[in-house]
A and B are shown apart, each in its own frame.
Chain A
Amino acid sequence: MPMSLAEVGCRSPRRQAFSWVEISSGSNRLGRERDAWGEPLNLHDIVRVAGATVLTPNADLDADVKCGFCADLMSDVLSLATPGSLLLTGLIQPQVVRTADMADIVSVLFVRGKNPQPETVALALELGIPLLWAKETMFTVCGRLYSFGLNGVERIR
């Protein structure tokens, strides 16, 4: 019988990385180890680790995520978030997507289970910005992503 990779014990690298999280015991060592491994996180990883739902059909989830940024104030995003950041926010208006476009944010993850307005999703589809959704709080999602190896923005000042 043909055997798939999983059956013979080979795992795809992504799946392997994820299993590390499941077996980790609660320190941030994991994140550091993953960093040392040198593979950037992508949106597939974010979706899996955050337990997120993808709101924009056919979104390109192969995009690398350089770091994470939490904010409910758009000026904060425009001022501090660096290109390639993932934005975690509780705001759901179209302006969030506009802000993401201006600041070269790779994707917006809505937290606290808030459903974005249809206009928000429509604008995201138009501008090609993947939208993700998680029901947990910003604190919880941020903690999970950090524990998986996602870092905050590099501070320049």
Chain B
Amino acid sequence: MTVGEIAAALHLEVIGANADLSREVRGGYASDLLSCAMAGAKPGDVWVTLQAHLNVVAVASLTEVAGVIITEGARPDADTVKRADQESIALLGTKEDTFSTVARLVKLGVGEPVSG
């Protein structure tokens, strides 16, 4: 499943003009701590976080996550969006909280099978 397909299925707002929506999503990671995401998010993960500041783009770029879902309606500022566009990072916005967003991703089949 691609980032674009997830954005469509979960009605996520695509923030910025140059998001790469073709990346394949292989798993999920949730954290509001950049240090944790740096250590734990894997390439191809979709990263779910409430954080919307500039460093999120840097971490997303370094960890090569497929996209970032920013929860609770938090808005990245213009610099952050500009930087994301430069790096073709997909920033996706939702009003839902992190628990509910992860739940909806799991329902779509992202992450381990629910029987685990």
Residues of A within 8 A of B (CB): 21-28, 30, 67-73, 76, 80, 88, 90-91, 112, 137-140, 142-144, 146-147, 151-153, 155
Q: Is the CB of A76 within 8 A of B50?
A: yes
A142 partner residues in chain B, CB cutoff 8 A: 30, 98-99, 102-103, 106
Q: Is the CB of B112 within 8 A of A73?
A: no
A138 partner residues in chain B, CB cutoff 8 A: 29-31, 98, 102
B36 partner residues in chain A, CB cutoff 8 A: 72, 90, 112
B40 partner residues in chain A, CB cutoff 8 A: 112, 137
Q: A137-B30, A143-B106 are in contact. Are A26 and B99 (CB under 8 A)?
A: no
Q: Closest A-chain residue to B51, C-beta based?
A: A73
Complex: A154 Cα to B108 Cα, angstroms:
21
Q: A71-B32, A139-B48, A143-B102 are in contact. Are A80 and B97 (CB under 8 A)?
A: yes
B48 partner residues in chain A, CB cutoff 8 A: 139
Q: Is the CB of B98 within 8 A of A143?
A: no
B103 partner residues in chain A, CB cutoff 8 A: 28, 142-143, 146, 151-152
Residues of B within 8 A of A (CB): 27-33, 36, 40, 48, 50-51, 72, 95-100, 102-103, 105-107, 109, 111-116
Q: Would you mind naming 5 contact pairs between A and B with Cβ atoms under 8 Å apart?
A: A21-B115, A69-B99, A73-B50, A137-B30, A142-B99
CB distance from A29 to the nearest CB of B (A): 10
A68 partner residues in chain B, CB cutoff 8 A: 99
Q: Is the CB of A22 within 8 A of B115?
A: yes
Cross-interface CB contact of A26 among B33, B98, B105, B113, cutoff 8 Å: B113
Q: Closest A-chain residue to B103, C-beta based?
A: A146
